[in-house]
């Protein structure tokens, strides 16, 4: 590891160090929340972008999840960069990339340029997410899955606020470009704040510095649990981003709701995701096998009804909440925790990178496959095949996990 990756890793002993650490972590969590909200711009504004760029429905739905292609391809490179340089450097690079890509959205002239900008945005989010996962599971080494749940709590909060704020801004200003400019410039401001305030003794702490030793887990990615979790994570990505990427378009074009009303439904996904901390605690108390299996089945039951048109708005809100609880808060958090626990504690960054690569690699296909299914059959058929069926497959695969081979 280079010297750049080894700044002072000892927490200062002065009385204010703990409060300072909490403040720095708070700044990172707020930034992460903003970046998560940013990622929903394309899906929430898809109908407007489609009209402005004259795109077909399959092409537009493809773009709504291409963000995750960037996330998928950059997950392992981000982990490697963390090992070579520092979490802070990789995190800052991610925030700047994501924010600049968001600003470039307003300059897109067609499918190809929008595709490039969205993938670039995903690369930025991958750098940020991998850094946050590695930082939280190292600093809070004794409760790693719960720490992931706490970070994922900010994902839920970003989803809640993002869908609502974007919808309100769109209807209030009447322009799809304005929300993108607001989010982009705000992100750059937060990057400057992180650069000036976050200290290496906090961001670069290692398990060794916290007196944690390796206990169980594989020393290579080529192990039974990681391979199985990689497949499950890829399928999960297709499920959850089939929902996040295309459901706003379904509600605006089929149910004919306004952008603000769509945001009012989608924010309940974020409300459900606010239980992420407790979803992580489930993974610390019970096995990933039982948690992922049971909750994937509940998620599958919910998705079966998502695209039925004769339901009340209140029912759509309830279903969005259920997807948030069982999908984002529990299954997502425990898939991430499973990847980390499948490897030795000293390989936390690699486990996080593998999770990001697999879940978002699968997610990158979600919009494209949903678009094909919708174009050739119907929205209801697409949801039941891509979401319900895949949830059942995930539950079955979870039964094959070997929890006795995971790290303690």
Q: What residues does each domain of the chain span?
A: 18-405
Predicted confidence (pLDDT) per residue in 90-145, tens digit: 999 999 999 999 999 999 989 999 999 999 999 999 899 888 877 776 655 555 56
Cross-strand bridge partners of residue 343: 218
Candidates 52, 95, 122; CA nearest to 185 is 95
State yes or no: pLDDT of 400 exceeds 70.
Answer: yes
What is the average pLDDT across 166-178? 89
What is d(CA 303, CA 309) in angstroms, rounded to the nearest whole number? Answer: 13
Distances (CA, A) of 200 to 85, 86, 206, 344: 12, 8, 11, 24
Predicted confidence (pLDDT) per residue in 306-355, tens digit: 999 989 999 999 999 999 999 988 999 899 888 888 887 667 667 777 88
Predicted confidence (pLDDT) per residue in 128-138, tens digit: 988 887 777 66
For domain 18-405, which architecture applies? Up-down Bundle (1.20)
Q: Whose structure tokens read 């079966």?
A: 304
What is d(CA 70, CA 51) in angstroms, rounded to the nearest whole number? Answer: 24
Backbone angles phi, psi at 54, to 5 degrees: 55, 55
State yes or no: pLDDT of 181 exceeds 60.
Answer: yes
| DSSP annotation string for 375-403 | HHS-HHHHHIIIIIIHHHHHHHHHTT--G
The tokens describing 366, both together, are 């979600």
State pTM to two decimals. 0.78
Chain-centroid distance, C-alpha 86 = 21
Predicted confidence (pLDDT) per residue in 151-165, tens digit: 777 877 888 888 889
* Residue 105 CB neighbours (<10 A): 23
């Amino acid at each position: 590891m280079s010297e750049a990756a080894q700044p002072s890793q000892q927490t200062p002993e002065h009385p204010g160090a703990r409060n300072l650490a909490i403040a720095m972590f708070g700044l990172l969590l707020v930034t992460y929340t903003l970046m998560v909200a940013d990622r929903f711009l394309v899906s929430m504004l898809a109908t407007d972008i489609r009209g402005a760029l004259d795109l077909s429905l399959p092409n537009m739905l493809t773009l709504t999840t291409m963000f995750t292609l960037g996330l998928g391809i950059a997950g392992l490179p981000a982990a490697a960069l963390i090992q070579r340089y520092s979490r802070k450097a990789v995190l800052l690079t991610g925030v700047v990339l994501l924010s600049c890509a968001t600003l470039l959205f307003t300059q897109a002239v067609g499918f190809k340029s929008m595709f490039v900008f969205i993938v670039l945005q995903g690369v930025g989010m991958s750098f940020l997410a991998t850094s946050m996962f590695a930082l939280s599971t190292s600093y809070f080494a004794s409760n790693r899955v719960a720490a992931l749940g706490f970070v994922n709590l900010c994902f839920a909060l970003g989803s809640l606020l993002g869908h609502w704020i974007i919808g309100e801004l769109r209807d209030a200003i009447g322009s799809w470009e304005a929300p993108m400019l607001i989010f982009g410039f705000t992100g750059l401001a937060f990057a400057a704040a992180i650069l000036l305030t976050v200290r290496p003794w906090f961001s670069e702490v290692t398990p060794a510095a916290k007196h944690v030793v390796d206990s169980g887990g594989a020393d290579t990615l080529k192990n039974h649990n990681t391979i199985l979790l990689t497949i499950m994570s890829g399928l999960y990505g297709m499920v959850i981003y089939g929902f996040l990427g295309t459901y706003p378009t379904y509600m605006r074009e089929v149910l004919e709701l306004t952008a603000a009303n769509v945001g009012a439904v989608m924010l309940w996904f974020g409300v459900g995701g606010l239980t992420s901390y407790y979803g992580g605690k489930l993974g610390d108390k019970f096995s990933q096998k039982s948690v992922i299996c049971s909750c994937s089945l509940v998620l599958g039951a919910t998705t079966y009804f998502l695209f039925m048109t004769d339901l009340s708005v209140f029912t759509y809100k309830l279903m969005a909440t259920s997807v948030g609880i069982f999908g984002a808060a529990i299954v997502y958090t425990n898939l991430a925790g499973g990847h980390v626990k499948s490897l030795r504690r000293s390989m936390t960054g690699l486990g996080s990178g593998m999770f990001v690569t697999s879940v978002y690699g699968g997610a990158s296909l979600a919009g494209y496959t949903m678009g094909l299914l919708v174009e050739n059959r119907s929205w209801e058929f697409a949801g039941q095949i891509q979401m319900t069926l895949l949830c059942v497959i995930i539950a079955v695969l979870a039964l094959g996990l070997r929890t006795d081979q995971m790290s303690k």
